[in-house]
Amino acid sequence: MTTLSLGLSPARRALLSCRIRWFVAATITYNVIEAVIALAAGSRASSTALIGFGLDSVIEVASAAAVAWQFAGPDPEAREKTALRVIAFSFFGLAAFVTVDAVRALLGSGEAEHSTTGLVLAAVSLAVMPLLSLGQRRAGRELGSRSAVADSKQTLLCTYLSAVLLVGLGLNSLFGWSWADPVAGLVIAVVAVREGLEAWRGDSCCSPMADALRPDAAGPAEACGCGPGCADACCSPSTEAR
């Protein structure tokens, strides 16, 4: 039998909340810079992928701002449901835009030019975003904040989009394969819808410390906040046993 420590000291909770606010602030700052660069470079190169990447950054700012608003109040848990709704709509908005943008690109809305700025931006984002996502996700899970974990998934999705953008711009520059970017973008849109649904249902965080305190928790899976069909890593038996 595994014994779980169910309580967090006030000092630890304050530290985790401070970490989340820091990661959110860093994410917002980076995404604002990213959006400005991507939109400017995309306009110069007539690249729908770059413009879409820039608008995605704007959507991510809205998601991170929701978490910042939540943790700015004296009782973050009271604001969590609203923050989750904002994050869910951010995912849905991202999926809708990427889908429309991908279909337009596949139908031949214009030939994108080579963009060195876009390639560098995608490479930098591919290195930075996983670190921000991982840090916020760890702090959010330990604190039991579903909104913080959901927003970290939004940041992780930006990593996937960065990889898609890098591959798409690279293939277009090297081989003229303009279809590679929009096809991969459609896959990202499907993932975004899935994550948005999880955020809407509140299934984004598996926290044994927070959710095991629920009186209606019937077993290990329920105690960690995992519902039926939860595919999060914390729902696996190996993780629950830790």
Write the pLDDT tens digit of every residue in 24-34.
Answer: 889 889 999 99
Q: Tens digits of per-residue pLDDT, 233-242? A: 444 444 433 3
DSSP code at position 25: H
Residue type present at position 93? G
Cβ–Cβ < 8 Å for 211, 128: no
* pLDDT tops 50 at residue 41: yes
Cα–Cα distance for residue pair 126/160, rounded to 1 Å:
8
Cα–Cα distance for residue pair 171/165, rounded to 1 Å:
10
60-64, 110-114, 158-162, 210-214: lowest mean pLDDT where?
210-214
pTM over 0.95: no
* pLDDT tops 70 at residue 128: yes
Cα–Cα distance for residue pair 45/62, rounded to 1 Å:
26
Q: What is the mean pLDDT of residues 44-54?
A: 80
Pick from 67, 43, 44: which is nearest to 55 by CA?
43
Virtual CA dihedral for 57, 155, 140, 214, nearest 10 degrees?
A: 100
Residue type present at position 37? I
Pick from 157, 137, 133: which is nearest to 207 by CA?
137
* pLDDT tops 90 at residue 40: yes
Pick from 100, 106, 118, 122: which is nearest to 42 by CA?
118
Q: How does residue 203 score in pLDDT terms, banded at 50, 70 and 90?
A: low
* Sign of the Cα pseudo-torsion (12, 15, 21, 24, in order): negative
What is 10-204's CATH number? 1.20.1510
* pLDDT tops 60 at residue 198: yes
Cα–Cα distance for residue pair 132/45, rounded to 1 Å:
29
14-18, 143-147, 210-214: lowest mean pLDDT where?
210-214
Owner of token pair 């649904």: 197
CA angle at 212 for the pair 136 and 84, rounded to the nearest 5°: 45
* pLDDT tops 50 at residue 108: yes
Cβ–Cβ < 8 Å for 182, 105: yes
Cα–Cα distance for residue pair 140/131, rounded to 1 Å:
14
- Portion of the chain with pLDDT greater than 70, in percent: 79
* pLDDT tops 80 at residue 57: yes
Q: What is the pLDDT of residue 110?
A: 61
Domain ranges of the chain: 10-204, 206-242
Owner of token pair 């929009």: 182
- Which burial class, exposed, middle or buried, applies to 242 when counting CB atoms under 10 A from its CB (0-12, 13-18, 19+)? exposed
Q: How does residue 101 score in pLDDT terms, banded at 50, 70 and 90?
A: confident
